[in-house]
Structure 1
Amino acid sequence: MRKLFVLLISIVVLSACAPVHRFTQLRKLPREYSENYSIEGIKAPRSAAHRKPWIVYSDRVENAAYVNPGGRVKSAEVGLLDTFLVIKTKGDYLRLIKYNPTNIKHNRLTQRKKAEYVGWMHRSRLILSPSSITDVQSGLHDKLLTAITDTTAIMQSATYFTTADSLKVFGDPELQNQTGVVGIHAIIYALKHSVDKRSVLVSKTPSLSADKIGEQVIGWVPAVMLQEIGHQVFTGTAFSRVPTLQKTLKYAPMIYPYHTDSTCSFVSGTLEPVIDKKDNHVFNINGKRISYTRGNQIKQELKRINILFAMEQSSRLPEQYPMLLNAIQNLGPFFAGSGESFSYQFGAAVATPRGMETIPLTADYEILIDRLVKMASYVADTENTPLPAWKAMRSALELIGNTPEAVNLIISVGETGEQQENAPSSIVKTLNEKNCRLLGWQLYASNDDKYNNYVLQLSNMIEHYAEYRTKNKRNMILYADQFCRSNLLREAGPNFLMLDYPYASMTQGGFLFPEKGETLPMELFAGAVDSIVTQIKADHQLLSESIDRAFATVGNGKDRLDSLLIATYHLPQGVKPNK
């Protein structure tokens, strides 16, 4: 009996000597690491996060774990962002096993034999917190912007850049092993600083997840290429009023100056260009020159989209108007969700028994809705003065007037057209001149020819302006593979035809029509508007990105350092940025 007892004790002792044994427990996330406060050692308030296992990540390539804490004998080679669980601590060293989510249940190891032991690693070679660096007072995450902050990056551009707008990213704090790139003026978050403060490990998100760590962490970036921008980012609102500070910064960007023994510097509220590109140019597929200034003008024009609702006099408009109004109102969040990438203006021309009612272009969607609501009583009036076909379309085109260059989407709601099958030439001409797109919505269809003519004339308008756009758009296209000679319609749904952009058409347009003796389901209206606006935005985004790409790759031969930069830092005249 005594021998059996000794044998059992020996087995227990020997098993306890293994790196992972029956008594091994996962360490919980320490409070001093849960928020990654900017002041080291401060503990976060207790929360449920501190009852979860402590997950850490390798912070560099060619990392290693060791047999003993502080030892020299390696137990495992470790790569950048390899993920581990902490099972023991000793001074500045952590004992680690590989992270395996299938082997964790209720914050415990489910099968210790499946745990893969790694070894001991020093805290300084690990990402210890699931959070980016956090301000102690506000509790908000520090935000950084990739930007040129001094002349070092300009004079030694090959060290920091792969292309004019792509910054090198490294897999180690010594900045020796490049692992990728990140764009200039990207908002990022700091995870940790190197010991010498010359590099920063950054991420796309303020919080890290073990299952998405490869998508979230960017890598090590030189500290000289990072600009602190505080803890919060400005957000726009639906209000049309532009913030006063934004206007002020345009003519007075200096916030405050400060002096040192040898220099006078200032803090600026705007990012100013350090490279003068105004002498650069590229060629479109017609062989015509596009200057850098004109390229920027085109990009600004591509951001502007005008949406105009043209409601023709129709027998079914009074009964359909409330449902149309509901559908238009529900489109508000769709237009508000575009952020700063695109700017919209909205207008309308509505045929009523009293004549045409118009709403001039406005950036405030609520003004459009309020005016359309007020028109509801006019639309429902019994008095009826017949109006010519396409009267609302003509009025909507007049609303565009001499507004800044933009794309104008006309959403035509009606029933009947003119007597002939072809569209009025005056309307076709104006559609071409005003850079228009059309979405037609036939309220009701009958066997009468004038109902068929509404659809035929819509199709004719789209066909003509699409052909015109094919020729005109060549002036903005810089890459031949983006050109398409055809403009074919495709069936986007039952009784819904659209130009087949981008596969068999250079532009956008379409129309919906019901079966004979029926009306269109109103639930299709918002989806149709969403589809064509999304196509327009994708088209403009592609053109804008192509301009940026062309000037960053082939159209940068005449780059010069900005004259103000040369004067400020007393650089030699004629110095060019290294490519």
Structure 2
Amino acid sequence: MMHLMYKKKKRFNTFTICFLGLFLSLLSGVVTPAFGQVKNYTTVKKRIKNSFNFEKTKDKPGRQNIDESVYKVFSDRAENLVYLDPYSQKSGENQDFLTPYYVLGQKNDHLKIATAAPEILGKPKGMFSFIFGDNYSFKEGKSVKYVGWIHKNNVIHYAHSKLSRCNYKPLRYVIGVHDVKTLYNSAKFVEKDTVHLFNDPLFKEKSAKKLMLNQFVFLYKYSVDKKAALVSNLANLKLKDSTARTMGWIPEFLLKKIGQQQVYAVNNLDSLSFLGKTKKDKEHISKGEVGDAFIFDVSKHHKRSKQVTDSVWAAVPLNVWDHRDNKLINVDGEDVLIRKLKDIKRDNKKINFHYVFDCGKDLKKKQLLLMSSLQKIWILISSEEKYKGYEFTFSASSYGCGKFYALPKTKSFSLWIDYLQNIFLDVNNEVVSEVNTGGIAQCFEYAIRDIPAQSFMNNIIIVSGEKRFFTPPNIKEITQKLGETSSRIIFYQLESKVDDQHQDYILQSKDILSKVSTSHASFIRSFIVENDLIKNKNTFTNIPAVDNIYLYDAPDNSTYQGGITFPRINKVLSATSFDKTLDSVLSKTIHFNAVFTGSLEYHAKRLGFLRSKSGNKIKEMILNDSTYANNLGTLPRNYMFEKYYKNKKYTQKDNPNAVLGYLLSKEELELVIDGYKSLIPLYSKEVKRKDRKRLFRIYRKNSRLINKNLFVKILRRRNYMADLVYIKTGMPVNSAFLLKTKIKHIKRKGKTSHVDFASIMKELRKKITILEETLSNKKTKKYKDGSKKEYYFISNNQIL
């Protein structure tokens, strides 16, 4: 009996083995693609390991858990060579730049690939489909475009740029010179401030897209010989960003690592101090030689923010060229120092509205009718794009009633409006201690009292009256001052009548305008280098309206902006005429400034650059270079504002006025704020144990998710809250509480009382609110890189 059972079992086992063998043979046949095609049961490889595009360092890489994501790569060049076998014997169809592929196999340093598309992945059809999932299989083999075999060095292995091992966040690079040889040999790749991109690492084919000198970029890979670098303006290869992406190859010698976002603001320093070869040695560089508002921390970042005593390596952007003594020749054959252009542009970004009003009793009601128009000034300057980046101030003075109402310059628009309204409503809140003995001339003197004798600031003086001025001004002296301080005057007559007093207001206004415009034309002529901008006579143009509006026709027929608006006989001034006049004068002023400074910049770049000398530090480096020491005089004049990025050993202790902070793009700042808000709760009531337990569970979930996504157990219960904040946001941490409190201790009252815990969370939330306000405030001052992309400067005391 036992013998019969054994024979049956043996026959069954033999049958099973034969069946499985046949099954596996069949399966092997359908899974393995035939030459040049993909079968239904072909699967995509998993990445398994090396999931992140880390910067190569001396540190030994840690082990990671198995990465089961789909192995996807991208073509790293145009006309990329593909073969039909892994031994490069028979050529396939050349591939385009950045084409995505799924990896089907690996052999002999080659990858077997098929064109990638998310919609082609899924559960296959067929008899054996129950064995396959929908993550690594193709729905239909015939829908897949089989490509062939490509060498592993000819693909981008990661859909993200180089990352820091410290926080798994992108590293930032800048396009710029960082060795003497490049100063002399960059002509093939750089044209003025434009950097040519190439579609291949051998620089055979130029790309249609370009990057700029001093632009922040992200590095994806180096070529095998390390002579070329593949860079992009974006840190990820996402399909939705394809139109915004600029990507290509540049020579390695034009790429400089500048760390992550950590910088030191050096605007308010006269010079910078760096450590020399020994601790006792100090090297000093004048601020004039530093070509940027920031120096960049390139040292390894940690969860704790940098301390005053820490010494770090910093990339210092040095000016290649010294333009301080550069000159242009104006239309009269005299010198114009190019360094004055910077002051002119700075002054052009300032606008002051000075309201001069007749405070006579019979005019107060008429003045009150203009308050709605004055109120619109704020809507105008705060909503229109052309006023972005301007600094506005407001002031006022009066004539005509003996009293001298005077409001000094203020940045508060509401204070200005309330001040004027209270006077016109006869609200006795405004104390007047001074009398007006000089009439409108006293108002003009007050309007320019804190402005330099010669200025390019936009001082808009709005004069609102009706009759002949109280005391005729000392025309010659005051009009010269007004012209040389670039004061633009607009006269408004509130009501027009045929009597002499009303007609004299118009005549006096025109006379003042004529003399001020002549004075201003003489003043600005000294800075004009283009004959086309010179006007023999400043002429008016009439703007169609219900009232009479006469404005100087700048820049076509005038170098001055201003004018007069008055109603028709026996009519009162309409508010719409007031608005139209003010808007026109402001627009003409901004337009003329742009034309004027644009002309100076144009000539400075093309003519002034010829007289530039190499900066002292650049000269020193060239003279110390054995190859180029004798070629100082032949240094190519590529770009007027070229910078040389030099690493220096820096400590904040030696530069106490420098401000540690972080440069973040809008997208980066949004991610930081969202990361902070997800970890720092907003408590509206008293904190209880259940709240802290809930927060602990949130932290635990965050930690587990981060560990899962990074394929390594980087966060444990014994880690500190600062570790979680640092890994999630990439930002160092200041808070002593976050640095000293372990994640597992969050729920424990014994470590921190509920009251203290709530207070700390409240203070941290205040910081987050300030960051949100910074992001939403249109007036927040921003830094621009070489491509004009904007970045927010967040000082170290603003982070958690």
Out of 467, 470, 486, the residue aligned to residue 435 of structure 1 is 486
Matched, 1:95 2:147: no
Residues 61-140 of structure 1: pairs in structure 2 closer than 5 A: 61-68=78-85, 71-79=88-96, 82-91=97-106, 93=111, 95-97=113-115, 121-122=150-151, 124-127=153-156, 131-138=160-167, 140=169
Superposition map of 1:388-403 within 5 A: 390=440, 394-402=444-452
488-497 vs 402-411, greater mean Cα deviation: 488-497
Equivalenced residue count is: 534
For residue 193 of structure 1, report the CA deviation from its aligned partner.
3.2
Is this contact kept in 2: 1:318–1:379, CA < 8 A? yes
Query: Does residue 348 of structure 1 match 2:401?
Result: no
Which position in structure 2 is the counterpart of 1:309?
Answer: 353
Structure 2 distance, partners of 1:503, 1:520, is 28
| Match of residue 570 from structure 1 | 624
Pair 1:209–1:521, CA change in 2 (3 A): farther
1:406 aligns with 2:456: yes
Contact 1:173 / 1:220 at 8 angstroms: preserved in 2? yes
After superposition, what is the alpha-carbon deviation per residue over 1:446-465, rounded to whole angstroms, capped at 9, x for unaligned? 55677787778767766665
> Structure 1 residue aligned with 2:575, among 512, 520, 540?
520
RMSD: 5.8
Q: Distance in 1 between matches of 2:75 and 2:567?
A: 62
| Distance change (3 Å), C-alpha of 1:382 and 1:168 | closer
Is 1:273 matched up with 2:319?
Answer: yes
Shift of 1:321: 3.7
1:5 corresponds in structure 2 to: none
Corresponding residue SS for 2:231 = strand
Identity level (%): 17
- Cα 1:272–1:58 change in 2 (3 A) is same
Output the CA distance in 1 between the equivalents of 2:460 and 2:76. 54
Shift in CA distance, 166/547, structure 1 to aligned 2, threshold 3 Å: farther
**Corresponding residue of 2:261:** 232
Determine the structure 2 residue equivalent to 1:4: none
Residue of structure 2 aligned with 1:297, choices 325, 340, 351: 340
Aligned to 2:541: 489
**Residue 201 of structure 2 corresponds to residue 173 of structure 1:** yes
Find the residue that maps to 1:95 and give its secondary structure. strand
**Structure 1 residue 410 displacement after superposition:** 0.8
Measure how far apart 1:501 and its partner are. 4.8
Deviations 1:124-163 (A, max 9, x none): 4345655544445456543333333221223435455434
Structure 2 Cα separation of the partners of residues 351 and 375 of structure 1: 10
- The partner residue of 2:425 within 358, 375, 380 is 380
Mapped contact 2:469–2:505 kept (Cα < 8 A): no
Report whether the alignment pairs 1:476 with 2:527.
yes
Deviation at residue 299 of structure 1 after TM alignment: 2.5
| 8 Å CA contact 2:210, 2:246 repeated in 1 | no
Give, in whole Å, the separation in 2 of the partners of 1:64 and 1:335: 49
- CA shift in 2, pair 1:354/1:55, >3 Å: farther
TM-aligned CA deviation for residue 412 of structure 1: 1.0
| Structure number with bigger Rg | 2
Alpha-carbon separation, structure 2, partners of 1:490 and 1:26: 74
Q: Tell me the residue number matched to 1:247.
A: 268
* Native 8 Å contact 2:321 2:614 kept in 1: yes
> 2:606 matched to 1:553?
yes
Decide whether the 8 Å contact of 1:257 with 1:267 is kept in 2: no
Q: Displacement, 1:221?
A: 3.0
| 1:17-51 residue CA offsets vs partner (Å, 9 max, x unmatched) | 67588889999999987x85547999999xxxx99
One-letter code aligned to 1:275: W
Contact 1:160 1:168 in 2 (8 A): yes
**Structure 2 unpaired stretches of 5+:** 1-25, 120-134, 285-311, 359-363, 638-800
SS at match of 1:348: strand
What amino acid sits opposite 1:570 in the alignment?
N
TM-score (norm 2): 0.52
Matched residue SS, 2:636: coil
Q: Among residues 232, 242, 259, which one is paired with 1:203 in the alignment?
A: 232
Give 2:667's aligned residue.
Answer: none
| Residues 407-422 of structure 1: pairs in structure 2 closer than 5 A | 407-412=457-462, 414-416=464-466, 418=468
Whole-angstrom CA distance in 2 between matches of 1:28 and 1:499:
72
1:328 match: secondary structure = helix
CA drift of 1:304 comes to 1.2
Q: What are the residue-to-residue correspondences of 1:11-90 with 2, within 5 Å?
A: 19=37, 38=55, 58-68=75-85, 71-79=88-96, 82-90=97-105
Maintained 8 Å contact 1:84/1:99: no
Conserved? CA contact 1:560–1:575, under 8 Å = no
1:256 is displaced (CA, Å) by 3.4
In the alignment, is the contact (CA less than 8 A) between 1:276 and 1:559 conserved in 2? yes
Q: Secondary structure at the match of 2:99?
A: strand
Q: 1:115 to 1:518 in 2, by over 3 A?
A: farther
Q: In structure 2, what is the Cα distance between the partners aligned to 1:459 and 1:258?
A: 69
1:358/1:71 CA distance change after superposition, 3 Å: farther
Deviation, structure 1 residue 295:
0.4
Amino acid at match of 1:303: R
Counterpart-to-counterpart distance in 1, 2:394 and 2:402 = 19
Unmatched tracts of structure 1, length 5 or more: 1-8, 102-106, 236-242
Aligned to 2:681: none
Q: Specify the code of the residue in structure 2 equivalent to 1:60.
A: R
Amino acid across the alignment from 1:186 = Q
Match of 2:655 in 1: none
User: Using the alignment, how far apart are the partners of 1:148 and 1:190 within structure 2?
Assistant: 16
CA shift at 1:349, angstroms?
1.3
* 1:153 aligned residue (182, 204, 222): 182
On the 8 A contact 1:155/1:578 being kept in 2, the answer is yes
CA distance in 2: counterparts of 1:26 and 1:316, whole angstroms: 81
Q: In the TM superposition, what is the alpha-carbon distance from 1:380 to its structure 2 partner?
A: 2.4
2:322–2:614 Cα contact (<8 Å) kept: yes
Change (3 A) 1:350 1:560: closer
Name the aligned partner's letter for residue 575 of structure 2.
Answer: L
Structure 2 CA distance for partners of 1:566 and 1:115, relative to 1, 3 Å: same
Query: Contact 1:201–1:221 at 8 Å: present in 2 too?
Result: yes
Superposition deviation, residue 71 in structure 1? 3.6
**Range 150-159 or range 466-475, more displaced:** 466-475
Give 1:204 shift.
3.4
